[in-house]
Amino acid sequence: MSTNAYSVYELNSLKGRDLLSLYDLSRQDIDMIFKTAETLKTMQKMGAEYKPLKGKTLGLVFEKSSTRTRVSFEVGIWQLGGYGLFLSKNDLQLGRGEPIKDTARVLSRYLDGIMIRAYRHSEVEELAQYADIPIINGLTDLYHPCQVLADLFTIYEKKKKFSGLKLAFVGDGDNNMSNSLLLGGSKVGMDISVASPMGYQPTDMILKKAQECAKLSGSKITITDDVYEACKGADVLYTDVWTSMGQEEEQEQRKQIFSGYQINSEILKIANEDALVMHCLPAHRGEEITDEVMEGPNSVVFDEAENRLHVQKSIMSLLMG
C-alpha cells in the first residue's frame, strides 16, 4: 500500500455508508472513489497485493441474472482479502416471503456488507433502512450506480476531464442506465443529451434531481426524441438494451418502438471524431448498436467492463474498510 493511498483513506467520508444512488454521493465522494480505484488498478497491474478487507464477508444477493456484476464483485472482494457469499434470492427465505426488514437485521449479524441486485428499488431502500451494514446497489429498476461509476472512471481515463464533454444516451430514457447516467454525468459536470421515443423519456423525478446536479456543476441536460440532435458533436455515445430485465413481455413491442434508436456508423459520423462508444453490456448487436461500431476503434466497451472490477474494489474498500 502506498502512502498516497493511505492518505485517501484517512479522509474517508464513505465508511459505513450505503451506495444506492449516485444522487447521494457528493463530487468529493466520487473523486475519492476514483482516486482509490486508480491506485488499486495500478497496484493490481503491478502485481502488488493489498488486502484491507481481510476477514470481512460480502453477501451478494441476486434476484436477476448477471455476468459482470457477480464476477467482478466476487473476484474483487477476494482480491481485497475478503470473502464473497453468493445468495440467490430464490434460495433465501426472502424468496418465500420472509420480510426484508427481518432479513436485513439477520444478515447484518453475519456479514460486513451486502451487494444486492433486485427488481424493485424500494426493496433495496428498505433493506438499507433496516440493515446496519453497508448496502451496495448492484442494479434495480431505477438505478445502476456501480456501472455508471465505472463508466465515468473510464471516460476520465480516456479524456482526462469531464467538464466541456457531451455524453449522448440513445435508447430507453426511462431505464436504470439512463437514470444513473443523468445523475452521475451531471454531478461531474458533463452535458447529457438523452434521445428516446416519446413515452420512454426520463421521469420528472429523475429530471428534477439531474437538473439540480447540473445547476451545481454548470452542465446542461437535453431530452429529445431526435437521435441526431442528441448525438451531434458528442464526445461519448452511450446505449443500452431496449428491453431491460423484467420487461421481457414487452420485447416485441419495444423492438418496433425503439427501431432507429441505434448507435451505428451514421451516428458515429455526426459525433466528434474521437468519440467514445460505450455500452454497459450485455449488448444486442443489430438492435441498439451495430456489430461494426461495437467492434470498431471508438468502442471502449471492454475497458468499461474491466473497470467495474477496479471501481467496485474501491467502493468496497471505502464502505467496508
Residues in contact with ligand CP by CB under 6 A are: 66-69, 139, 147, 280-281
**Cα–Cα dist 18/115, whole Å:** 10
CB nearer to ligand CP: pick between 214 and 280: 280
CB contact at 8 A, 241 and 248: no
- The reply on whether position 196 binds ligand NVA by CB under 6 A is no
Residue 317 grid cell: 474498500
CB nearer to ligand CP: pick between 32 and 280: 280
- The reply on whether position 170 binds ligand NVA by CB under 6 A is no
**Cα–Cα dist 11/279, whole Å:** 33
CB nearer to ligand NVA: pick between 112 and 141: 141
CB nearer to ligand CP: pick between 66 and 217: 66
* Interacting partner of 211 out of ligand CP, ligand NVA, none (Cβ under 5 to 8 A depending on kind): none
| 109 is a catalytic site residue | no
* Interacting partner of 244 out of ligand NVA, ligand CP, none (Cβ under 5 to 8 A depending on kind): ligand NVA
| 117 is a catalytic site residue | yes
Residue 27 grid cell: 463530487
CB of 258 to ligand CP, least distance (A): 19
CB contact at 8 A, 294 and 283: yes
| 279 is a catalytic site residue | no
* Interacting partner of 177 out of ligand CP, ligand NVA, none (Cβ under 5 to 8 A depending on kind): ligand NVA
Closest CA to 142 of 54, 22, 60: 22
Catalytic residue among 240, 262, 279, 310: 240
CB contact at 8 A, 91 and 62: no
- Answer for which of 36, 137, 154, 175 binds ligand NVA (CB under 6 A) is 175
CB contact at 8 A, 143 and 123: no
Catalytic residue among 68, 254, 279, 308: 308
**Cα–Cα dist 61/180, whole Å:** 21
Q: Is the dihedral of CA 316, 317, 318, 320 positive or negative?
A: positive
CB contact at 8 A, 17 and 131: no
| 240 is a catalytic site residue | yes
**Cα–Cα dist 143/23, whole Å:** 10
Binding mask 231-270 for ligand NVA (x = CB under 6 A): ---------xx--xx-------------------------
Catalytic residue among 144, 254, 279, 310: 144
CB contact at 8 A, 130 and 8: no
Residues acting as catalytic residues: 117, 144, 147, 240, 280, 308
Residues in the site for ligand NVA, rule: CB under 6 A?
139, 175-177, 240-241, 244-245, 280
